Amino acid sequence: MSIQSKIAAPVFIIAASLVPASAGIVTFSGEDILATTTSAHPNSAAAAASFDAAVAGLGTGSLVTFEGAPLGSFSNLTIAPGVTLNGTDFNGNNQTIRDTSNSPSFPTLDGYNTTAGGSNFVEMQAGTLTFTFSSGVEAFGAYFSGVQDFYPNEAITFSDGASQLISMPEAGTSGSVGALDFVGFTDAGESISSITINAGNASVGADFIGVDDVRFLTVPTVTGTPEPGALGLAVSGLVALGFVVLRRRRTAQA
């Protein structure tokens, strides 16, 4: 399975949490307490479906499942054309691509794969994870597993001309109860060059979480309009061509 594939527009829309984070931003979030790799997760799935539908209304989104990504730590990983990923954990080490949970004895408290039939995911041992987009994006979303409010609130941060922070749902979680979240947002008309996931640090508390099934919508490329001078030359050329054609017709009739 390739790292990147296209998001298909859903055939139905499930209502999810749509909360304006600021002017122009619409967020989509859902939380499933004690969800594991094998359990149903209706709330986060509903949020993901609503996000996908919103993206389909804006353009053609992309999906990164990490199934084609090399296992192990990475410093600057290309996950799609024009999209790179880097980050450091709470010890200052690189983040990691895994295909098994770091803590299998605690299936709801740590990261895991959320791709149907897949295995790979990004394991964040707290710290940060930054997505950088060469063309800018106006929508972003992902699944986050093993989320706990026992630690500082996990959040998505970015700038669309002003600093923005979108917190992950953590209601009902604790040091022994984790959750699977989907969190996404649309910011139509903006061009966001980088998005960072924050999961705490050693001094204030560190949460190990998984990141998978990342969606994003690249800002459409706008074809430039002709400069006024160039447009004038084009019109002049058409007029001159018209005179040539007219003269040839008159000559032929003479």
pLDDT digits (tens, 9 = 90+) for 82-97: 999 999 999 999 999 9
What's the confidence (pLDDT) of residue 102? 85
Query: From CA 36, how far away is CA 39, in angstroms rounded?
Result: 5
Query: From CA 59, how far away is CA 194, in angstroms rounded?
Result: 19
Where are the domains positioned within the chain?
A: 4-218, 226-254
| CB contact set of 225 (below 8 Å; sequence gap of 6+) | none
Protein fold of 4-218: Jelly Rolls (2.60.120)
Which of 13-22, 37-46, 179-188, 226-235 is predicted with the least confidence, judged by mean pLDDT?
13-22
Residue 245 confidence class, pLDDT cut points 50, 70, 90: very low
Burial of 37 (0-12, 13-18, 19+ CB in 10 A): middle
Query: From CA 110, how far away is CA 129, in angstroms rounded?
Result: 16
Question: Which one is predicted more confidently, 6 or 175?
Answer: 175
| CB contact set of 248 (below 8 Å; sequence gap of 6+) | none
Residue 79 confidence class, pLDDT cut points 50, 70, 90: very high
Helix or strand holding residue 234 (H, E):
helix 228-253
Residue 222 confidence class, pLDDT cut points 50, 70, 90: low
What's the confidence (pLDDT) of residue 97? 98
Count Cβ atoms below 10 Å from residue 124 Cβ, excluding itself. Answer: 28
The pTM (predicted TM-score) of the whole model is 0.80
Residue 205 confidence class, pLDDT cut points 50, 70, 90: confident
What's the confidence (pLDDT) of residue 224? 54
Query: From CA 4, how far away is CA 137, in angstroms rounded?
Result: 16
- Radius of gyration of the chain from its Cα atoms, rounded to whole angstroms: 24
Question: Which one is predicted more confidently, 37 or 10?
Answer: 37
**C-alpha 205 chain-centroid distance:** 26
Question: Which one is predicted more confidently, 242 or 208?
Answer: 208
What's the confidence (pLDDT) of residue 19? 43
Query: Pick from 88, 75, 82: which is nearest to 199 by CA?
Result: 88
